[in-house]
Amino acid sequence: LYNIISDINTRAPSRIPSAFNGKALNLPQFVQLMETFVGDAPLAAVEKVTSFMQKEYVETEEERIALLAKVHQDALLARQKLVLQALFEKWDNDGSGFLELEEVDGVLTKYKEGMESEAMAKGRENLNSSKSQEGSRKLSASEFTRYILGVIHELPGPEEEVFEYVIEFLTSSVERTQADKLRGASRRKWLQHIQTVAETSGGRLDSVYKAVFQALYKDAEAHGNNKKISANIGLLEQNSPGERWNEVLRYVACTSEDALYVLNKTLNRDMKGVSFAAVDSGIPQHVPRVQYHGNIQFWNKDRLEEDRKGSLIVLPLIDAQQRVFGTLSIDTLREPRDRNIFLSHEISFYQVCRNDIY
């Protein structure tokens, strides 16, 4: 986990606390306080204040020991959280920001060949896992940390030693192949680029859409067997305010190959397609082979019937309030080879990409 921890430290300020808690001052803080207090007072006044502080300030041995113990505990907890964040990122290879609770449980139950199952159950009693609109139970990074620390607290033995044993076990249990590591590193880089564009675009969504499409293209080339994909983004509009069945999806962005056929087009609820199924359910709609589905909207009417082959996935776009406001659709209709099916790791990556569109 060392490399991941180093990467985390370069992305954010250190999480290791200072040597003092909120009720104590370190040297720079003390000097600043004294400078503020004495101001431009003459040297004699400063010496009087210094003499007074030396006589009156008293720290008992018990207070000193208690403070040192708290400093040690705070530093230990900060290190443990940093290690667990690194473990979370190692486990979450595709950068989704969540782990399947069932998968984490499955690994933990194998600790010491299942002999600590009772402690594992107690450790997760206070865990309130997130429940996504897809219906599966997921853990965020903070929930994962709370879960593992809760389990460690219930296991017998000194907590520091138990922590090391559990981390070693989990790290070895989720070891990735070199190919998986490279794929995860590439995807995190592309996702970071999307986030950077979103933060610096000044609200210009076109820049964000372009960054998303670029990430999809790169992923299909590097990790999707170099297949040709197309993608589009549709946003919900209402023809009549308050009338749900008058909603339409207006396609505000798409990859260049489909611009003539898709851009600014609208999809109504009475038209063919699975997009409104994704909107209404909040669940991605995956069609592995569109030629056999029977309810797919083909925008390019020039494409011959025998060429209407490939896979399609429609992902609902969901805002911070868990409201669906549009769709991200990706297909492989332009891919001439038969190997045009989306694999599970590709779909996982697409779901992460859609999270940055709002």
Report how far residue 247's alpha carbon sits from residue 269's, in angstroms, rounded to the nearest whole number: 7
Determine the pLDDT at residue 11: 63
In the chain, ranges of CATH 3.30.450.40 domains? 179-354
Beta strands in the chain (DSSP E): 99-100, 130-131, 137-139, 230-238, 247-254, 266-268, 285-287, 312-318, 324-331
Is the overall model pTM greater than 0.85, yes or no? Answer: no
Q: Torsion angle, CA of 103/174/185/101, rounded to 10 degrees?
A: 20
Determine the pLDDT at residue 130: 46
Burial class of 126 by CB neighbour count within 10 A (0 to 12, 13 to 18, 19+): exposed
Q: Which fold has domain 179-354?
A: Beta-Lactamase (3.30.450)
Provide the token pair at 215. 């990430």
Contact 274, 311 (CB under 8 A): no
Determine the pLDDT at residue 340: 80
Determine the pLDDT at residue 16: 45
Over its length of 358 residues, how does the chain's per-residue pLDDT go in tens digits? 767 777 766 765 544 444 445 667 777 888 888 888 888 888 888 888 888 888 888 778 887 788 788 888 888 888 899 999 989 988 888 777 888 888 888 888 888 877 887 877 877 776 654 444 444 578 888 889 988 998 888 888 888 899 999 999 999 988 888 888 888 889 989 998 998 998 888 888 999 999 999 999 999 999 999 999 999 999 999 876 655 567 899 999 999 999 999 999 999 988 989 999 999 999 999 999 998 888 899 998 888 888 889 999 999 999 888 899 999 999 999 988 877 889 988 998 998 898 877 7
